[in-house]
Each structure stands twice: as structure tokens, then as C-alpha cells.
Amino acid sequence: MSGHPIVHIEIPATNTGAAGKFYSEVFGWNIQADEMYGYVQFQSEGGPGGGFVEAGKDNPVNIQYKPDSLLVYLATDDIDATLKTIEAHGGKTLLAKTEIPHVGWWAVFTDPSGNRLALYTSASH
């Protein structure tokens, strides 16, 4: 994918429902709760969407979410190839390519400065 645009952002929150309400009321974001995954999602006009994740709570992929650390997702056509390029330039893979059933795949890496980011490929791609 040319340019690797930002496609998703996760905002840590101690109460994801309250966070959704805050951003809806303050910024007018469209908020939807995904019952299947227990995930509160947002869509802002003209920008990438995202979701609210519970800060400090264990999760299935052992990614630690802290209130001061957003997780930005970059689009890619080939997660494995992108991770190889990242590692060749001093980055590190934290989570290898992992399926999100019926949605797509993701992976998490750090850049050489230690910033944590994610990669995403849609299942419809």
C-alpha cells in the first residue's frame, strides 16, 4: 500500500463507555459499541476511525495499554514484508501478524526510538 496511511487509532481509557460519551459530546464523533468484541469504536468526520481500549487490563495478545499511549495503525498490503523492513531498519516486532476474525490482520512493532505502532490489512483487501 503506497504511503501507508493511518487507518485506525486506539485510545486507552479506564472506562471505554465514558470515553466514548466524552468524545461524542465534545467533538461530535459517531460512537458505536461492538457487542461481539466488547469494543467501543469511534468515527470522526474526515479522519481515521478507531476505538477505546481498557487501560491496564489484560488482553488476549498481551499488549499493555496505558492511559498515555495511543496506538496508531498504519495500512499495509503485506504485514510480513513490512515487519521485515521495519526490523532491517532497527525496529522490533512485538506482535507478529495476527488475525482479527472477519475483519483483517494486525501486528505491533516499535520504531528505533521505542514508539509503539501497529500495522493493519483489511480482510476485504
DSSP string, 57-68: ---TT-----TT
pTM reported for the whole predicted model: 0.77
Cell 495500512 belongs to: 75
Cell 469494543 belongs to: 39
Chain centroid to Cα 21, Å, comes to 20
Domain boundaries, the chain: 6-122
Reading the block at residue 36, the C-alpha cell is 461481539
According to DSSP H, which parts of 28-121 are helical? 79-88
Q: What fold does the segment set 6-122 form as a domain? A: 2,3-Dihydroxybiphenyl 1,2-Dioxygenase; domain 1 (3.10.180)
Cell 465514558 belongs to: 18
pLDDT string in tens for the chain (125-residue length): 568 889 999 888 888 888 999 899 988 899 998 877 778 999 988 888 998 888 876 665 556 777 778 899 999 999 999 999 999 999 999 999 999 999 999 999 999 888 889 999 999 86
